[in-house]
Chain A
């Protein structure tokens, strides 16, 4: 029962509805609908809100034209790098119901977001 109540209070973002269905480049300087813009305008404020409320942040990624690595890294990857993986893990849930393949693309970028290459 408590779990259902908590789920009701979870903070949600639907990227296609709340931001754009056309994810763009890494930085604002490079073009519209950038990962930087998404991070600063939506992802970080909502994550802070979820932290304050002690609930999860659920980000729905269905219905996007694509999942460019530069957009994913500049938003979700930056969140991991700046707040730390321990803070983000468990609090941030990425949800894809129709576009299951998107999770594979996003997880690949997120796994390597804070790991320097050899």
Chain B
């Protein structure tokens, strides 16, 4: 009897192992056991040991109550700058989020990306107390930031519920397909779902090709989709050079000044208006961002907002504004709130290709 039980257990174990390996094979990223985004260049043994009582000596920082990046950019960016400065001075940081009344997936994405980037965390610990507000707390928990009272941002888990998040260096069509499939209820037509898919691919492509500047190193992109009861929020960000800085490096500061681009506002506007050529110098490159504006003008994506360097622009309304602070990298946000499920006949095919397997 014992033997049979062991044999069954063995079969169950080997099934589990097979499924695990299959999942790994269908993913487009390299399998890296014990990989840490916080310390990508260090082996497991070399990583700083986490002290159990680090929160007691950590510097406590309080973010703005309206902790929404695309609505309250200056205060949120300044808060993260303060976090980075504290890390640079050799301190751990404890986020006091108790009084936060509004929190959306975009800020959580920024929080997770920055605290898992060695250039920002300076190998220090980050964590904190979760918000008291139930809605904000739900966003936090569904983002995979776990822990009952104290969370640890360097050890996040997979998202669940209404949020999906992914990060990679390469363009991932599977992720884009997975995100639009998740938000299918808010597109009402395939043209709109395709517009969001295309936007995701273009942004991943831009990060992959340009965000690292002229160096060979690639920048990591982070993206998430958050399905609220009435709309889906798409967020995309990287911690690279930013759109304006990339253009300035390509064209040259002197030429830009001669052309009248004294500030980034006009430069960004012209990039979205398809008046500035890509960094690669090829005339057929660099159409991704103008096409995003084109899709926004056609109403296929809504409330499209970009924050990069010292500019915030609402592509949908055409409002561009210089910020009082500098954002390192590029952040994109857009929404889809078209009532009705998009008839996506390819969902069936996607399922057979394994796209929805882990939704």
Chain A interface (Cβ within 8 Å of chain B)? 16, 20-26, 30-34, 63-71, 73, 77, 81, 98-99, 101-102, 105, 109, 112-117
Contacts and interface: CB of A to CB of B under 8 A. Distances in A.
Given A25-B204, A69-B287, A70-B201, A117 B277 contact: yes
The residue in A21, A33, A69 that gathers the most chain B C-beta atoms within 10 A of its C-beta is: A69
Classify chain B: how many residues form its interface, as a range: 35 or more
Interface of B: 28, 170-174, 176-177, 180, 190-191, 193-198, 201-202, 204-205, 208-209, 274, 277, 283-284, 287-288, 291, 345-346, 349-350, 353, 355
A26 B197 contact: no
A94 to B, nearest CB: 15
Contacts, number: 116
A109 B194 CA distance: 16
B1 to A, nearest CB: 49
B28 A69 contact: no
B349 A16 contact: yes
The residue in A16, A101, A116 that gathers the most chain B C-beta atoms within 10 A of its C-beta is: A101
B11 to A, nearest CB: 33
Contacts of A99: 190-191, 194
10 contacts: A16-B349, A31-B172, A32-B171, A32-B172, A63-B345, A64-B346, A66-B197, A77-B284, A81-B284, A102-B194
Contacts of B174: 22, 32
B198 to A, nearest CB: 4
B205 A32 contact: no
Tell me whether chain B's interface is mostly helix, strand or loop, or mixed: helix
A96 B180 CA distance: 21
A105 B292 CA distance: 12
B208 A70 contact: no
Tell me whether chain A's interface is mostly helix, strand or loop, or mixed: loop
Contact of A68 (B193, B198, B349): B198
Given A22-B353, A32-B172, A63-B346, 20 more contacts: A20-B353, A21-B350, A22-B177, A22-B355, A24-B201, A30-B170, A30-B208, A31-B170, A32-B28, A64-B346, A65-B173, A65-B176, A65-B346, A66-B193, A66-B196, A68-B205, A69-B202, A70-B205, A71-B201, A117-B274
Contact of A70 (B172, B202, B345, B353): B202
Contacts of A98: 345
A25 B28 CA distance: 13
B176 A66 contact: yes
A55 B343 CA distance: 34
Nearest to A22: B173
Contact of A101 (B176, B190, B197, B208): B190
A64 B349 CA distance: 10
B288 A70 contact: yes
B173 A24 contact: yes
Given A63-B346, A63-B349, A68 B202 contact: yes
Given A21-B350, A102-B194, A69 B291 contact: yes
Contact of B204 (A31, A73, A112, A113): A31
A99 B205 CA distance: 24
Contacts of B291: 69
Contacts of B172: 31-32
